[in-house]
Amino acid sequence: MIFKRFFSSSRLLKDSLVLVEGSQSQINPATFSTITAASKIGEPITALVLDPSLAESASKIEGVSKVLKTNGYDHYLAEDVTPLLTNLIKDKYNYFFTSGSTLGKSIIPRLGALLDVQPLSDITQVIDPKTFVRPIYAGNALATVKSKDNIILGSIRGSAFSPASTNQSPVSIEDIPKVESDSRTEFVSENLTKSERPELGSAKVVVAGGRGLQNKEMFDKLIEPLATKLNAAIGASRAAVDSGFCDNSLQVGQTGKIVAPELYFAIGISGAIQHLAGMKDSKVIVAINKDPEAPIFNIADIGLVGDLNEVLPELVEKI
């Protein structure tokens, strides 16, 4: 196996390491957007896989120069992963990016503390190798910030960058050893929501329901057929999640998922700023609500005031 090495000093300044997230041979869609963001800095980009089943696919992602593969990090616990990352990054990489997932957000700050670096969360734009844009105040303001750190650690908002393509001829994959940690944290169990639908964070169409659906039965009865018809992911407002209409992991907003699909249906959602923070970059927003004063109508491209019980079945039938 030939290992590509990049020792020329001009390139050394832009060496990026990107964490490839995913499991069971499936790379999370947000990783492809993260690599696009890293490519705005320049090459080389090294992809790090902590799950060997992802290595081959990672080696075909456009822009990736090399893949580092290791094993033994089954649950990506930050306490285990950060010693490995600290070793890798020190003196070798000037950039480390993850997606703005719960995983990325658990790892990057811990790493920042160990490297004495102030990370950037949820980058939406790369202005130059030191300057980035990120949303603050639930997306009500955009801050352009310039880092004074020598190493830049950033999580990338997936919806802000198009996904890198996966058709390059595979680059080399290098095995690296696991780094032992003295972690006292143990994984106990997990409970993942199974779904046949597209993943909420990367779906082209999202059908989201809110308090206006009144109960779980109505949520399922009115939201699911439309989502099925449009091959859409289902989302929800915090009110819907708190009232038990659907699972927590479907929440769209400042404290849930940030989405920017081609088409977003806000059904029975009033449009509180925390919800808007999670979806206002959608390309086309449709709002259906019985309250004509609902703030969601201020940002919707198409608004329809009406009784959800009548409008939705008709829409499913005619669309």
**197 contributes a contact to other proteins by CB under 8 A:** no
**311 contributes a contact to other proteins by CB under 8 A:** yes
Using the minimum distance from each CB to other proteins, give the nearer residue, 45 or 232: 232
**293 contributes a contact to other proteins by CB under 8 A:** no
Query: Restricting to residues 206-225, which ones interact with other proteins according to CB under 8 A?
Result: none
Q: How many CA atoms lie within 13 A of 281 on its CB side?
A: 21
> Do 133 and 144 meet the contact criterion of CB atoms below 8 Å apart?
yes
Q: What is the nearest approach in angstroms of other proteins to the Cβ of residue 89?
A: 14
Interface characters, 2-41, with other proteins (x: CB under 8 A): ----------------------------------------
CA distance 96 to 81: 13
Other CB atoms within 10 A of residue 316 CB:
16
Query: Restricting to residues 160-189, which ones interact with other proteins according to CB under 8 A?
Result: 182-189
Residue 202 to residues 48, 153, 163, Cα–Cα distance (Å): 22, 23, 10
> Which residue stretch of 42-50, 87-95, 129-137, 161-169 sits at the interface with other proteins (rule: CB under 8 A)?
129-137
**268 contributes a contact to other proteins by CB under 8 A:** no
Tokens of 57: 């696919």
**72 contributes a contact to other proteins by CB under 8 A:** no
> Which residue stretch of 47-55, 172-180, 213-221, 253-261 sits at the interface with other proteins (rule: CB under 8 A)?
253-261
To the nearest 10°, report the CA torsion of 23, 27, 28, 33.
150
> Degrees (nearest 5) of the Cα angle 50, 11, 106?
30
Using the minimum distance from each CB to other proteins, give the nearer residue, 63 or 154: 154
